[in-house]
Amino acid sequence: MAENQKTATLSLDGTTYELPVLSPSAGPDVLDIRKLYGQADVFTYDPGFTSTASCESKITYIDGDKGELLYRGYPIDQLAEKSHYLEVCYLLLYGELPTRAQMEDFEYRITRHTMIHEQIHNFFRGFRRDSHPMATMVGVVGAMSAFYHDSLDINDPWQREVASMRLIAKLPTIAAMAYKYSIGQPFVYPRNDLSYAENFLNMCFSVPAEPYKVEPALAKAMDRIFTLHADHEQNASTSTVRLAGSSGANPFACIAAGIACLWGPAHGGANQACLEMLREIGSVDKIPEYIKRAKDKDDPFRLMGFGHRVYKNFDPRAKVMKESADEVLDLLGIHDNPTLQVAKELEKIALEDEYFVSKKLYPNVDFYSGIILEAMGFPTSMFTPIFALSRTVGWISQWKEMIEDPTNKIGRPRQLYTGATFRDYVDVEKR
């Protein structure tokens, strides 16, 4: 251990162990327990990883108490206002904001990877029309491993780069195709003359029967939603991608695993669940009944879009999303939207209620996003697919960082075993 290394002391059964304390560039110190089991023959216990740093990363930093979110050091509110999604993708992937020339090259490469292999269209037709688009996305993204054989070798930097470009570029195409398939409309091909967000809106809402013009202000709102969802440290789906990637699985399989995890209502599925909850509440006078249920330990109901493992203050993304909701609804001429009225009143009441205040429960990224997406014309079933396509750059940036870390090893946690200890087999006649 280095001479001036800061340490923590653990005393166990009369033996003292010195644990190195690692200092971050921001956030809490980290106790390095990598050698603890070998030295003290004990495991640490942290289901849900509430107090556990699973990796070292330089990509995204969250200060839950301050309600701060930084992508490579840049605050999310400044990026949402001044940047755009593809520039944020470059920043997350490569660590620095691009020069104009770097941005043009990156945009050119992404744009020319937006089409998917024509045969992949057949996969969609194997699903029921009423399949949830997330089911289709998990299936189709995983199946990309069966097509893009020249970008499966994770040890080849060029193949890692191509797989990253393909995933960032093709996820919107796949999400839009899942939507079109669910409503029985023909697939719309990507267009190279449109921006990333314009392309997605065009692939979702245009039809061959008439021209479709993307409203620039809606494209800007869509682009901002992509940026707000791009990455978020070691959340459940990112940890899933890292764990899948640690076995050497190909990038398409790893991202499919991340999509599967994101689907859960406690995670990315909360945006759909939140809007459905707001609709179920229906009017402001019904709010107290639902607040009461959310506080009732015997009632599994929780306020969807509220609370967060890390944020014990406002989720900065929710603040930007709330402002954007007002802008988009105003732009679309939607006034007195009952769902937005319920959301704003619910937020106000909850933030004055001792239960939510004491538990530091605030609106999270999912609380307002559904109101915007619904106003833009998306069904609730498309909310989590939009979260997934936005988060693909975060997943792939974290995956790339892990693969390129020379200390990377397969993730293999241990357990606190409380089951039966050794016993001999008993023949059925003696049971």
Catalytically annotated residues: 308, 366
Judged on CB neighbours under 10 Å (0-12, 13-18, 19+), 295 is middle
Q: Which of 359, 377, 404, 413 binds ligand SDX (CB under 6 A)?
A: 359
Stretch that binds ligand SDX, among 29-37, 151-159, 162-170, 267-275 (CB under 6 A): 267-275
As a whole number of angstroms, the distance between CA 304 and CA 275 comes to: 8
Of the CA atoms within 13 Å of residue 415, those in its CB half-sphere come to 3
Is residue 307 a contact residue for ligand SDX (CB under 6 A)? yes
Is residue 364 a contact residue for ligand SDX (CB under 6 A)? yes
Q: Which of 221, 361, 372, 373 binds ligand SDX (CB under 6 A)?
A: 361
Only one residue has tokens 């195709």, namely 177
Q: How many helices (H) and strands (E) does the chain have?
A: 18, 6
237 CB-near residues (< 8 Å, 6+ apart): 258, 259, 261, 262, 267, 268, 391, 395
C-beta of 129 vs 360, nearer to ligand SDX? 360
Is residue 232 a contact residue for ligand SDX (CB under 6 A)? yes
Q: Which of 342, 365, 386, 393 binds ligand SDX (CB under 6 A)?
A: 365
As a whole number of angstroms, the distance between CA 176 and CA 182 comes to: 10
377 CB-near residues (< 8 Å, 6+ apart): 204, 205
Q: Which of 109, 267, 279, 319 binds ligand SDX (CB under 6 A)?
A: 267
Question: Closest distance between ligand SDX and the C-beta of residue 61, in Å?
Answer: 12
CB-CB contact of 170 with 252 (8 Å): no
The interface with ligand SDX within residues 275-304 (CB under 6 A) comprises: 294, 302-304
Residue 271's beta-bridge partner residues? none
Q: Which of 59, 89, 270, 346 binds ligand SDX (CB under 6 A)?
A: 270
DSSP single-letter state for residue 185: P
Q: Which of 305, 316, 370, 385 binds ligand SDX (CB under 6 A)?
A: 305
Stretch that binds ligand SDX, among 3-11, 124-132, 261-269, 323-331 (CB under 6 A): 261-269
Helix (H, G, I), strand (E, B) or coil at 9: strand
Number of residues located near ligand SDX, criterion CB under 6 A: 21
Stretch that binds ligand SDX, among 3-11, 171-179, 280-288, 359-367 (CB under 6 A): 359-367
| Residues of this chain that bind ligand SDX (CB under 6 A) | 232, 235, 266-268, 270, 294, 302-310, 359, 361, 364-366
